[in-house]
Amino acid sequence: MFDNISITGITSLDKYPNSKCEKYYKQCLDDIMLCIPSEKPEIECINEVNAKICIEDYTVLNTILGPKLFITGKKNIKIIYTADNCQQSLHSAHWSIPFCEFVLLKDLSYEECKDIIESIFIGLENICVRHFEKNIIDISLLFIICPKLYNFSYCQECKNYCNNNLNKYYHDIEDKAYRGNANHDFYDSKWNKYHK
């Protein structure tokens, strides 16, 4: 039904970090309802959907289940659509939606986690347009959060697993499931800035 919609923003596999850890990561699937601003014309058809997920900040929480990496950021979404009017003119709409997620750092103590987060990578795996009407779009974003640790001596078992199973997770995913341009962000805690 939506095969003619161009999807951009998917992170290509070659943009993922080589030093990913399969023990500490979080996969997320978010369903989002978007409303076209009232000053814009109604939708006849959607031409393109673009998404980019950005991390703004993070902190490590001490919880009963163990330390949790608590992340805040924004999901930036843009659509280009053909208006339901006589001119069938092209229009765009933008949204910036705050979000929060966490990654459980199991088998680590809270004290160990304070200074070992080097950067956080977010890979956008899929954008799905589920439904749209005249002024409403229902989409889903599938993304993965991958923290990178400075010192893996805190987790020798995890380090050995990653070294012995290089690219096991990402190479099992078929390339054909990915479309569009690559957009990815690193949040570097050392320099307090993003790498794009």
Q: What is the pLDDT of residues 81-100, one digit of tens each?
A: 998 888 888 999 999 999 99
User: Which residue blocks in the chain are alpha helix, DSSP H?
Assistant: 110-113, 156-164, 168-171
The order of strands in the sheet holding 90-104 is 6-8, 43-63, 66-83, 90-104
Q: What is the pLDDT of residues 109-159, one digit of tens each?
A: 788 777 778 888 999 999 999 999 889 999 999 999 988 877 655 455 555
Tell me how far apart the alpha carbons of residues 120 and 102 are, in angstroms, rounded to a whole number: 12
Angle (CA) 40-46-51 rounded to 5° is 90
Is pTM beyond 0.75? Reply is: no
Question: Which of 20-34, 67-81, 89-103, 153-167 shows the lowest mean pLDDT across its residues?
Answer: 153-167
Is the model's pLDDT at 107 over the cut of 90? no
N- to C-terminal Cα separation, the chain: 33
**191's tokens:** 């320099």
Tell me how far apart the alpha carbons of residues 146 and 26 are, in angstroms, rounded to a whole number: 7
Give residue 186's pLDDT: 45
Give residue 153's pLDDT: 53
- pLDDT band, residue 173 (cuts 50/70/90): very low
Query: What kind and span of H or E run contains 63?
Result: strand 43-63
Tell me how far apart the alpha carbons of residues 110 and 62 are, in angstroms, rounded to a whole number: 6
- pLDDT band, residue 1 (cuts 50/70/90): low
Contacts of 87-94 with CB under 8 Å at 24 or more apart are: 88/44, 89/41, 90/47, 91/40, 91/41, 93/34, 93/36, 93/37, 93/40
Q: Are 76 and 94 in contact (CB under 8 A)?
A: yes
